Every structure is written in C-alpha cells, then in structure tokens.
A and B are shown apart, each in its own frame.
Chain A
Amino acid sequence: MSAVAHETSLGLDNRKLAMWTFLGSEFLFFGAFVSAYLLYLDRTAGGVGIEVFDIPFTSISSFVLLMSSLTMVLAHHAHTKGDMRRMRMWILATAGQGAVFLGGQVFEFTVFYREGLVATQSPFASSFYYLAGFHGIHVFVGILMLLGLYSLSLTGKVKPNQDLKTEMIGLYWHFVDIIWVVIFTVVYLIPELAMT
C-alpha cells in the first residue's frame, strides 16, 4: 500500500475523515439519550429516583476513565516515535482502566437494581439505563479495539509506521471519555445539586 493510496481531493486521509464524521454523528445518538433523561428526570412513577446515585463511587470511576485518556494519548505518542513496546504498555493500561470503569458500572447497576431502580419501572429509570448502558457498550467496544490493536502489534501486523491505527482508536476512546464528562455532570452531579 503506497503513501498516496489514501490521498483525497481534500488532502485528508479518508479513514480519519470517516472517524471524525462518525464521532460527530455519535453526538446526536448520545444527545437523544441525554435529552430523554433530562426531560424524564422527574418521571419516576413514584419509584426510585436520583437519590439512589452514589456520587463518591461514580466520581472514582469517572476519574479512572479520564486518566485512561492520558494513557491512550501516551500510547499514540509512543507509536508516532516507533516505540512499539511502550505503545503496547500504554494500550494495556488504557484497556485496564476501561475495564475498571466498566466493572464499576456493572457493580453500580447491580446496586441500583437491588435498591429498586428497574429499567421498566419508569421513564426516568429506562432513560438512565439506556444512556449509561449505551455508554458502557461504547467503552466495551473500545476495550475490544484496544486489545485487538495490542494483539496485532504483538504479531507484527500493526507496524511502527502505521500510527494512524492507534490514532483512530484513540479518537474513539477520547470521544467515549468526553461523553462521560458530559454524562457525569448532567446526569449525576447537576440533578443531585438541584435536589438539595
């Protein structure tokens, strides 16, 4: 494959352009869920509402996800320098932090369920689970991509001069992170503050 294979009339790489277009469209996807959540915030149908949230616990998992963006960008930086050993180390660290976040979300959902927040119970409960759950699925897909990248670099199928592959997965991962920045504030912190 030659260097000019992906050159376009815009002078940009098609794959990177596609990724940014995809990420832009993802805002609409999450925007719909966030809108539904905000509009259904007080539709608890007499059931459990935001009082079930454990802000200290969610803060820690949010912090872990935020720091995974640091390890992701360090992985990309290492790849641009051709340092594949360090790149793999940071990729594993990123996937590990993603797994910690996801484990925390599963634990959190289990606790919520036990305390009576059931998805079919109210518009509030279903909008919350759909929003947080779809974000969780995005994290899960990100972890799979990171582990795939790790495996492919280990077998030599991702080469030191193919840093765009790490950059693309990095873009997706950072996007998942900034979506959580919004969710953490809009879904967890602001309603808690407004309730007190």
Chain B
Amino acid sequence: MSTAPTQDSPPSELENPRRGHHPTPRDYVRIALILAVLTALEVSTYFFEFGPLGIPVLIVLMIVKFLMVAGFFMHLRFDVPLYTKLLYTGLFFALVLYAITLAVLVLDGGELL
C-alpha cells in the first residue's frame, strides 16, 4: 500500500508523530464499555442514597465521560493540540457566560425577568 498522502489528509497532518497511535476497534469497544459503566454509576445516584457525595460524584463522572469521548472518539489525544485549544476555548467562554449570568442574577436580587 502506498504511503503517499490521501486526498483528504494534507502531508503535515500525516507527519504528526502521534497519528500512529490511534486506538484499534477493540480499544474503542473497551472505551465504550467503560463509558457504559460510568453511565450506570451516574444513574445509580437516582436509585441509591449517596448523601452529600451525590452531586460531586455526578460532576466527576460527567467530566470523565466528556474527556473520554473527546479524547478517544474525537481523537483529540492523537490529533494536533490546536483542535483541543479550539474546543476548550469555546467551553471556557461558555462557563464565563454562565458565571456572568449568575452574577447578574445575584446582583439583581434574584430577578432576571
């Protein structure tokens, strides 16, 4: 098989040293199984009493699932870092937006409408 660049991939991306470490289908299935277990853990907080740990556990599980899908399924762990920066810049601004809205709500005495 030729090692020439494909029609869709410019040469510089092919030359990225991290590209060679893409997971195999078996790895993807393993990741999906872990995600399924994490989802089951999330849902278990609805059926079982976790006390004050419930919400922190849910937030940690959400972040882990998010990072696993973005890192492995979206290939951010194996792609050029610029894509990671683009995605997380958007996420950062979304959090800033929430913080500003929350601050306005608090400063306005709880009335947004």
Contact = CB atoms under 8 A, between A and B. Distances in A.
Q: Which of B4, B31, B45 neighbours the largest number of chain A CB atoms within 10 Å of its CB?
A: B45
Contact of A34 (B29, B43, B88, B98): B98
A171 B45 CA distance: 30
Interface stretch (A16-24, A113-121, A133-141, A145-153): A16-24
B39 A63 contact: yes
Interface string A56-90: 10010011001101101110010000000000000
Contact of B10 (A11, A40, A77): A11
Interface residues of A, number: 67
23 contacts: A11-B12, A11-B13, A12-B10, A20-B87, A23-B86, A24-B87, A24-B91, A26-B90, A28-B94, A30-B94, A31-B93, A31-B97, A32-B94, A62-B39, A70-B73, A74-B25, A159-B7, A162-B7, A178-B66, A185-B58, A185-B59, A186-B62, A193-B46
Interface of A: 1, 3-4, 6-8, 10-13, 16-17, 20-21, 23-28, 30-32, 34-36, 38-40, 43, 55-56, 59, 62-63, 66-67, 69-70, 72-74, 77, 123, 159, 161-165, 167, 170-171, 174-175, 177-178, 181-182, 184-186, 189-190, 192-194
Contacts of A23: 86-87, 90
A75 to B, nearest CB: 11
A54 B83 CA distance: 36
B76 to A, nearest CB: 9
Nearest to B87: A24
A35 B97 contact: yes
Identify whether the interface residues of A are mostly helix, strand, loop, or mixed: helix
A39 B101 contact: yes
Interface residues of B, number: 57
B97 A163 contact: no
A13 B25 contact: no
B2 to A, nearest CB: 10
B94 A31 contact: yes
A7 B5 CA distance: 11
Contacts of B55: 190, 193-194
Interface string B59-84: 10110011001101110000010110
B13 to A, nearest CB: 6
A161 B8 contact: yes
Contact of A174 (B32, B70, B80, B90): B70
B92 to A, nearest CB: 8
